[in-house]
Structures are given as structure tokens and as C-alpha cells.
Structure 1
Amino acid sequence: MRIKSILAGLLFMAFLLPAFAQTRTQYKIVTASKSGTYIQIGRDLAKWIADPAGIDLEVLDSKGSAENVQRMRFEPGVKLALVQSDVFQAFLDEAKAGNSEAGNIIRPLRLIMPLYDEEIYFVARADSPLEFIHEIKGKKLGVGPIGSGTALTSRTLYQLMFGEPIPAANAQFLSNEDALVALTVDKTIDIAIIVAGQPAKLFTDMQPEARNYIKILKLDEKAPETTRGKKTYFPATIRASSYSSWLTADIPTWTVKAYLVTYDYGLQSTVGNLTQFAESLCANFDKLQANGHPKWKQVRLELPPLGQGWRYYPPMEKRLRACIAGKTAAVSAASSAPPQPRNRPCTEQEVVLALCKR
């Protein structure tokens, strides 16, 4: 009888232990549209960072940054979000101006780290007489869906350049795909404004014939509108190599910074899980750059000083700073190590380049 009890107990544990072993943390990250860059960045984080940290990170599409701020604040399970810098700043500005709802939303949010610059595309029809971004004043614009970062970027940049808001009759709140249809098929808008880090799937999927239907307007550094826009945005270049199937030359444009954002969590289990995420981010950062979206190559593992109202999440900041310091020390030690003795004579070229002494 005792043997049967022991066997029954062992059988029970055989079924029970795998269930415990397979228990993993379930978190979510909000990104942007399914054809954008944010969702690919989210998938990279889920595969190369969250998974090694024992976190099953569900990657959710969204309308964009403005919606992400709301969902990061209120949606259960959402622990991470990708947010544009101008959207984050807009919420801070609204809070400072006395908007209590904006303050309630943005004040508990914390930054993990800056990521990369997202290019802003001003897409016109190929036969449009427009050539430059500062020529869009008074035109009918596709500005991104309501609640998207693109919609806020369109509004903010237009206001900066021209000193007035986009006329309500000239703004259509469309997804990227719908905006291109409205531009090229329905011809109900003159410009589609799209924010996406290059190479963006929306444009990489296009055929060579795309150049017969669309073009991207250029930034004119000499235009006074450009000078005014630089208060918040920065010049960038859309590279022809990013869309080699149809783009034939580099195009100067505007850019906006993307950030990885979380909440000021205090629950010990959440703090521990996010600290593990930070540890994995540092340990596997090279894998992100080697295997993830090309935009990862532009990301630096660093935590630069922040503007007023912007704050890092302390538990993750502490872990990342310690890791960054460790990597810096390792690089410094390697660079100061005595050179290894040569086992061959110097070549003439090495002597000329001062790489070797005879």
C-alpha cells in the first residue's frame, strides 16, 4: 500500500512540476500599425529580449503613439509602449498648462531608453507640382488616424512651420494605406503624411512602378519654415538604398525620436520582471543589432540626460547604467591591454600607415 502511495505521489509530481516549470510572465507591448516599423521593433524585443528574461511579450498593433500613451496608462497587461518624443512632450505641455487629465495620464509614465529617429514622409502624387515640404500650406492632407502619433506630428510640425493650425477642412484622419489610396486613386488629398523608421514595410513592398504614381517631397534647409520646424524636429535623410526598388535618390526630410516607455511600477514582482528585462536588454543588445530591424543599428545603449518632466524608470535605469558602465570598463581594459608581439615582419604598407615599426 505504501509503495502505491509513493508511486501515485511521483506520478502526480510528474504532471505538476512541468506546469510550474512552464509558468512565465505574460506582458504586452503596444506599437503601431501592422505595416509600420514600431511593430517590428516590438517583435524584436519580444524575441531577443523578453523571451530570454522569462517574459512572454505579446506585441499589439495600435493607431500609434498617442493611443499607446493611453493604453500604457490604463490597459491591463500593457507594461511597455513605443512612443514618439513629440507625443510624450505634448502630454507634458498639456499637463503643465493645467489639463488635469493629461497630467493624470503622463506623470506616472517613465522612460526606459531612447531608441532611434523616425523619418517623416510627405508623399505627393508623381505629377504634383509640389517639390518641397514647405509648399504644403493650404493643401489637403492625410494626417494619420485620430489618436496616432502621426496625427500629432502632422499638427505640431504644420503649426511650427506656418504659425497656424491645419484648417479642419484640409485634414483627413486616415491610416497609411488609406491615405495612399486617397492620394493616388480617389485624389481627395494632395499629401499623405506618414511617420515610419526606414526601411518601412509600407514602402519596401512597393514595385518599381510606384515612382509613376508617387514621390516624396524634400526638405529645403534654406526655407524659413524649416528654421521654425527645427524647434522640435531634426533634419534627416530618406536613403534611396532603403527603397531601392523604386526610389532613385536620397531625400532630405524631418525626423522624430522614438522611446521605449513603461510605468512607475512599485509592485515587487513587476519591478523584478522589468529589471530582468533590463538585464536581458543589456546582455542581448548585440543580438538585437545583428538580427533585428535595421533601425536597431542606429540605437545606442545609453541613457542621455532628459528634459524637464522626463524621467527614467529607476529600477531599470539602475540596472542599465551598471551594465553600461561594465561594458565601458571592459572596452577600456581591452584597449589599454599591451599589444601582442608580432610573429611576422612589417609590410611596407603598415609602415607607411604607422601601423607597425620595423
Structure 2
Amino acid sequence: MPIRSILTGLIAMVVLLSSALAQPRAQYKIVTASKSGTYIQIGRDLAKWVAEPAGIELDVLESKGSAENVQRMRFEPGVKLALVQSDVYQAFLDEAKAGNADAGNIIRPLRLIMPLYDEEIYFVARADSPLNAIHEIKNKKIGVGALGSGTALTSRTLYQLMFGEQMPAANAQYLTNEEALAKLTVDKSIDVAIIVAGQPAKLFSDMKPEARNYIKILKLDDAAPETARAKKTYFPATIRAASYSTWLTADIPTLTVKAYLVTYDYGLQSTVGNLGRFAESLCKNFDKLQANGHPKWKQVRLELPALGQGWRYYAPMEKRLRACIAGHAAAGGPAWARTQPAGRDCTEQEWVLGLCKR
């Protein structure tokens, strides 16, 4: 072969390689929750151990929580992923089924990637409070979480399940976790702060031993009829003393809600391709997430269980994940492989979800 032909071929290969290397990395965003919560740490883990190997630059954004995340996932440019509580996702589906056009517009194009882990629900009272159990919070002044947060929806849903009535509007204060703890312990204007976070949550793990002089966590009483009603939607769990060894002296029974990784029903070929690579990277690097990420990753199973009515996986990612999971299982791989209509006032739930304004 003539030298000129060989050189021409080599030059062509260099040009092609340079062109491929020059391709910009996809720049996506994931919405999480507050900087003191677990969601933001999960988002950072996904950015480092999953997105980066897939050639995606994933910007991890703070938010008020799940309800806001659903809205931003639907409408904010660049947001391709979100972390959302199961009860919030279901609440949007329920609103859509009840005829709320805005809820339908928001939730119907959203798709699940996979379930993650259970988030513990903390009912925090002052250390000197006469309250000791979760079912004793009826008619108390409660910090229910910020507007737009999953905590606010969880707080209201749990209250209604336990007591058969909505939480009185005058008793609910929509506060961030930090604001709620300040109002609980400093000016004492609320009796209980409800906080949803996977343990160990930075908000509590950063506390010093003296914290037990100011706050306590209320216990779930299995004998209470209110507990039986709450368990229709939520599940029992334990806040472990080992998670907060600096100030917690005993395990505390509580309730949990499931966290999900969510995306949109994208059809653009480049986005489908990028998210497909993300799914493969999630499967291939799952052991690294469990070894190096937040402790909650150790509770996650890489599997795609059957979903309830109205819940759907994102098909391109589902296909990649199922193929990868099946491949690992066949090879004897790691353990894990085995707006409001006119003329009607908005309801409290619609207001909390950001579907209308008062």
C-alpha cells in the first residue's frame, strides 16, 4: 500500500477521534432537597458514580423537596432527573384522577426510573414535652415542612390518616427543617416538627450530645389505633441510635415513605441515548454506589418491581436496566443482581402541591 494512502487513512482516523473527543458532555440537572437532607447526598453520588462514567455532567440542585421537584422536573429546562417521595407522586396522580387538569398535565408525562430506599419520618418534640408517641400530636401546633416539599404532603396525609380529619390550618406552619427546629426549641411556637429524611440525615448526625437536652423523637406505638390507620399508606421502621450516636441513646420506632428516581418521557434521540447510558452506568456501577455512597444505598435493591395504576417506568431506561440486571444474574454477579378551575376554592392538598394559589 502506498505511503500516501496510509498517511491519508491515519489522518482521517485522527480527525474522527478528535471530533469524537470534542463532543461536549451532556449537561443535565437533578433536583433533590435541602442541603441538610439525604436527597442531595444521593444526587451527588449519582453525579459522581453514575453520570460521570456515562459522559454526563450532572448538576445537583437544592430544592424545597418532592412536590417542588415534580413541578421542576416537568417545566424547568435542563432538569432531567428528580428524587420524589412515593406519597407525593401518588397525590399528583390522585389529583389528576379527580379531574385536576394541571395535576394531569404535570404528572402524566413523568416516568419512574427505579425505586430507591425508605425515608424515615421524624416527629421531633422538645425534650421536656409531655408528648412521647406519634399518635399524641392531634391538635398540636406542627411544623409540617416547607410549601412544595414532600414533607408537607406527608405530614398532612399522615395526620388525616391517623385522626380522620384534616390538620387544622391554624396549627400547620410551613417551615424548612432548620426553621422548624428553631421555632420548636427557641421561641417554642410549635409543639412538633415533622422531618422526612433517610438516616443518617446530616441535620441530625451533626448534632452534639447536648441535643438530647433540647429535643426528643416521638415513638410509634403499635397498640394505638391511629398507628393501624397510618400503616395503610406508610410502613414501620426504626431510627437507629447508631445513626446518631452522639446524642441518641436508644432505637426509636417510626414510619417510612419510599423514595423514587424519576424522569420524563423523553423522545429526543440524543436525550434517549444519554439516559440509556445513564441507566447502564447505574447498573454497572451500582456496587460502587453501595460501597462509597451514602449509607442508604446499601438498602437499595437494583430491581424494577411491578407498579400500581398510573405509575410507569421510562421504557428506554427500563429496557437497559432489565437487560443489565439479567446479565449480572445469569453470570452469578453481585448480591444486588440476584392551575385551578374557575369558581372553586383550592383544597389544602392542591395548595401544598403548588397546583393553585390562595
Residues 133-170 of structure 1 show CA distances to partners (whole Å, capped at 9, x for unaligned) of 00000000000000100000000000000001110110
Q: Which amino acid aligns with 2:123?
A: F
Aligned partner of 1:48 in structure 2 is 49
User: 1:18: how far off?
Assistant: 8.3
Aligned partner of 1:160 in structure 2 is 161
User: 1:235: how far off?
Assistant: 0.4
Structure 2 CA distance for partners of 1:258 and 1:170, relative to 1, 3 Å: same
**Is 1:302 paired with 2:335?**
no
CA distance in 2, matches of 1:23, 1:273: 12
CA distance in 2, matches of 1:153, 1:33: 16
User: 1:21: how far off?
Assistant: 2.6
CA distance in 1, matches of 2:248, 2:333: 42
Residues 88-139 of structure 1 show CA distances to partners (whole Å, capped at 9, x for unaligned) of 0000000000111100000000000000000000000000011000000000
How does 1:139-158 map onto structure 2 within 5 Å?
139-158=140-159
CA distance in 2, matches of 1:177, 1:128: 19
Residues 204-245 of structure 1 show CA distances to partners (whole Å, capped at 9, x for unaligned) of 000000000000000001110011011110000000000000
Asked if 1 retains the 8 angstrom alpha-carbon contact of 2:47 and 2:57, the reply is: yes
CA distance in 1, matches of 2:223, 2:86: 25
Aligned partner of 1:284 in structure 2 is 285
Aligned partner of 1:350 in structure 2 is none
Question: How many matched pairs?
Answer: 322
User: 1:332: how far off?
Assistant: 7.9
Q: Calculate the aligned-residue CA RMSD, in Å.
A: 1.8
Aligned partner of 1:315 in structure 2 is 316
TM-score, normalised relative to structure 1: 0.88
Structure 2 CA distance for partners of 1:96 and 1:135, relative to 1, 3 Å: same
Q: Which amino acid aligns with 1:87?
A: V
Q: Which 5+ residue runs of structure 2 have no aligned equivalent?
A: 1-10, 336-358
Q: Which amino acid aligns with 1:307?
A: G
CA distance in 1, matches of 2:289, 2:272: 23
How does 1:69-148 map onto structure 2 within 5 Å?
69-148=70-149
**Is 1:269 paired with 2:299?**
no
How does 1:33-44 map onto structure 2 within 5 Å?
33-44=34-45
Aligned partner of 1:331 in structure 2 is 332
TM-score, normalised relative to structure 2: 0.88
How does 1:164-175 map onto structure 2 within 5 Å?
164-175=165-176
User: 1:59: how far off?
Assistant: 0.2
Q: Which amino acid aligns with 2:144?
A: V
Aligned partner of 1:21 in structure 2 is 22
CA distance in 2, matches of 1:236, 1:310: 24
Structure label with greater radius of gyration: 1
User: Alignment identity in percent?
Assistant: 84
